[in-house]
Amino acid sequence: MTVSFVTGGARSGKSRFAQYLATNMGEGKTVCFVATAPAVDDEMMERIARHQRERPVDWVTVEERHDVVKVLDERRHDVYLIDCLSLLLNNWMYDLNLTEEVFHDLTQRLITCLSNTELDVVLVSNELGLGLVPADALSRQYRDWLGWLNQAVAKVADSVHLVVSGVAIDVKQLPGTTWDF
């Protein structure tokens, strides 16, 4: 099956594009939206509600803050849209208070699942590596770990779409963009 990775900046259109991909993959199939966002305040609850209104009504929504692999392993649906890895990492760091070793273990578990899946999966994440170096150690750690998580997912994905100002390009299709290191 197909693993598609969608990344970009805040408000770049990445979630909308990921929904487009999942909709096209899901014609005649069941689609599951895996929500990783915690509803921590009124503003976040409104964001979640807006995203819910924008999704097709026949999609199933599963809220999973920590273990998206478990959801994929259940194989109850044909297509999965995981939105987003940025908040998943946030939840890992703040809810689970994980060490770097555990972070790498969780990342490897996700990569192994994606590498062996027989499902269509679309994953969304923020691209944070284009901005300034954060001023504090925890923010730098988050930025670094998200960069490593994104790289690992991109490596096993069939397509990697960078979304900028509502325009998506599959960067894996560009010459010279993939290498082993």
Sheet holding 120-126, edge to edge: 60-63, 31-35, 79-83, 120-126, 3-8, 159-164, 167-170
- Please, which pLDDT band fits residue 181 given cuts at 50, 70 and 90? low
Residue 51 annotated as catalytic: yes
Residue 11, pLDDT above cutoff 90 = no
Q: What is the CA radius of gyration of the chain?
A: 16
- pLDDT, one tens digit per residue, over 21-67 is 999 997 889 999 999 988 888 888 898 888 888 888 999 999 999 99
140's CB contacts (< 8 A; 6+ apart) are 133, 134
**Identified catalytic residue from 51, 66, 104, 161:** 51
131 vs 92, more confident: 92
The first and second tokens of residue 24, run together, are: 């096209």
Task: List, for residues 94-144, the tens digit of each pLDDT value.
Answer: 999 899 999 999 999 999 999 999 999 999 999 998 888 889 999 999 999
The domains found in the chain, sorted by start residue, are 3-171 (3.40.50.300)
Q: With a threshold of 0.85, does the pTM exceed it?
A: yes
The answer to whether 58 and 26 are in contact (CB under 8 A) is: no
Q: Report how far residue 172's alpha carbon sits from residue 27's, in angstroms, rounded to the nearest whole number.
A: 25
